Amino acid sequence: MIHRFKLGVGVVLAAPARAFAHSPIEGMNDFYNGVLHPALVPSQLMLLIALGLYLGQRDVAQNQAPIASFLVAAALGLMVTGFTPVVDLQLPVLATTIVVGALVAADWQWGRFGRMALGLLAGLLLGLDSAQASLTGLTRLVALFGCYIGMTLLLIFPMALADRFNQQEWQRIGVRVAGSWLVAAGVMVVAFSFASR
């Protein structure tokens, strides 16, 4: 009986490895594909992390307007993708990441309207950059809704993290260092994009 159990454990351990051999997206429905979309596009993920860290460097109470502007702009951007041709926005997304990452690294907070403008810009770019061109009708709508949820979550998580890591000086330094990493990676890829043209 024990031998059978051990063999069963072995088979169970083997099974996930075979599942990983295929894309994790395969077999997922359109909603979850949409949710994962911003997490699986590195440039989008970087911008969301940068903006989340930036907003989290100040009290959450001061961020209601920037978050609202991000959410409105992202929804608008996603809706617009249904009516416009697909455009590659990786460079503008990375350029915005560099700006926001530099603000995080410098711990330089703009005024309320400046932060709202950043939220608007980031939301619009990410929305427009998330076109689900291969889908149509209801499936597209579901995937776009998933994207919206994914973007929202990926903004909120780093924001909450930065807000939590706002107590001690070393924690604030850690957030600033993360900002500098985002800037560095962004600059490299922008350079690579221009060089490979």
Partner 1 sequence: MNLLYRLALGSLFLTVAGVAFAHEGAGLAGGFASGFMHPILGWDHVAAMVAVGLWGAFLGRPAIFVLPIVFPMVMAVGGALGVAGVPIPAVETGIAASAVVLGAMVAIAARPSIWVAAVIVGAFAVFHGHAHGTELPQSANALSYSLGFVIATGLLHLLGIGFGLLVRWPMGKVAVQASGGIIALAGVGFLSGAL
* Cα separations in angstroms, 121 against 67, 91, 111, 143: 12, 13, 15, 22
Q: How far apart are CA 153 and CA 45, in angstroms?
A: 11
Between 15 and 65, CB nearer to partner 1: 15
Q: Which amino acid is at 93?
A: V
Among 29, 62, 64, 193, binds partner 1 (CB under 8 A): 193
Q: Which of 33, 53, 21 is nearest to 160 (CA)?
A: 53
**Position 187 contacts partner 1 (CB under 8 A):** yes
Nearest distance, CB of residue 86 and partner 1, angstroms:
19
Nearest distance, CB of residue 101 and partner 1, angstroms:
9
In the shown chain, the binding pattern of residues 46 to 75 toward partner 1, with x for contact by CB under 8 A and - for none, equals x-----------------------------
Q: How far apart are CA 140 and CA 146, in angstroms?
A: 10
**Position 154 contacts partner 1 (CB under 8 A):** no
Nearest distance, CB of residue 9 and partner 1, angstroms:
9
Residue owning tokens 């990983």: 20
Indicate the burial class of 155 (C-beta count within 10 angstroms; 0-12, 13-18, 19 or more): buried
Q: Applying CB under 8 A, which residues contact partner 1?
A: 3, 6-7, 10-11, 13-14, 17-18, 20-21, 40, 42-43, 46, 94, 102, 105, 173, 176-177, 179-181, 183-195
